[in-house]
Amino acid sequence: MATDAELLANARGGDQGAFTALVERHHGALVRVARTFVTSRAEAEDVAQDTWLAVLRGLEGFEGRSSFRTWLFAILANRARTTAYKARRAEPAVDPDRFDTAGGWVEPPRLWTDAVDDRLDAASLAPRVRAAIIELPEVQQQVITLRDVEGLDAAAVCDLLKLTEGNQRVLLHRARAKVRSAIEREMAP
């Protein structure tokens, strides 16, 4: 059985069979690793295919400072992180089903603060808010905790978490929307 280095040398020489052998040898592992970055098997397959295209384009530029496998997984990790980041950015802050086709509210958010005394007192609301915050993705938890619980300003949070101002604003908006939705669900009659 040929080694990765031998198959790589042959693939560089134009041997399509050698490249196919590399794909057959490593594709399953690429998909498994990509799956740890993205949310579905289909996305993982897409990332793996994108990785192979990048390998094909960069074949001549591979200098051999690392093993082929290490180079391959470095490309995969970069592609998977980019895919996962784009998917997170596309995540809606509010459930799209709450809007009609014209973009208006199907049912506007209820003002639950007026009826809070009838259903809950402030002391019992705090643990529910904390529980909703714990369910958030890690960075959203950090941003909402620093901003809304600890009272830090946006600039301080950006500096602490190494975020851009825009990214911090989006993370805070999404976190607040998710916490609000969780409390609305709990307080629904």
* Model pLDDT, residue 118: 52
Domains 4-89 and 98-187 share a fold: no
Higher confidence at residue 66 or residue 51? 51
* Model pLDDT, residue 119: 53
Any idea where the domains of the chain sit in the sequence?
4-89, 98-187
Q: Which CATH architecture has domain 4-89?
A: Orthogonal Bundle (1.10)
Over 90: is that where the pLDDT of 74 sits? no
Contact 161, 168 (CB under 8 A): yes
Q: How confident is the model at residue 91 (pLDDT cuts 50, 70, 90)?
A: low
Higher confidence at residue 148 or residue 113? 148
Q: How confident is the model at residue 85 (pLDDT cuts 50, 70, 90)?
A: confident
Over 60: is that where the pLDDT of 113 sits? no
Q: What is the 3-state secondary structure (H, E, C) of the chain?
A: CCCHHHHHHHHHCCCHHHHHHHHHHHHHHHHHHHHCCCCCHHHHHHHHHHHHHHHHHHHHHCCCCCCHHHHHHHHHHHHHHHHHHHHHHCCCCCCHHHECCCCCECCCCCCCHHHHHHHCCHHHHHHHHHHHHHCCCHHHHHHHHHHHHCCCCHHHHHHHHCCCHHHHHHHHHHHHHHHHHHHHHHHCC
Q: Which CATH architecture has domain 98-187?
A: Orthogonal Bundle (1.10)
* Model pLDDT, residue 80: 87
Over 90: is that where the pLDDT of 6 sits? yes
The sign of the dihedral angle between the CA atoms of 79, 85, 89, 93 is: positive
Which range of 13-17, 111-115, 157-161 scores highest in mean pLDDT? It is: 13-17
Over 90: is that where the pLDDT of 49 sits? yes
Copy the structure tokens of residue 171. 């993370």
As a whole number of angstroms, the distance between CA 75 and CA 51 comes to: 6
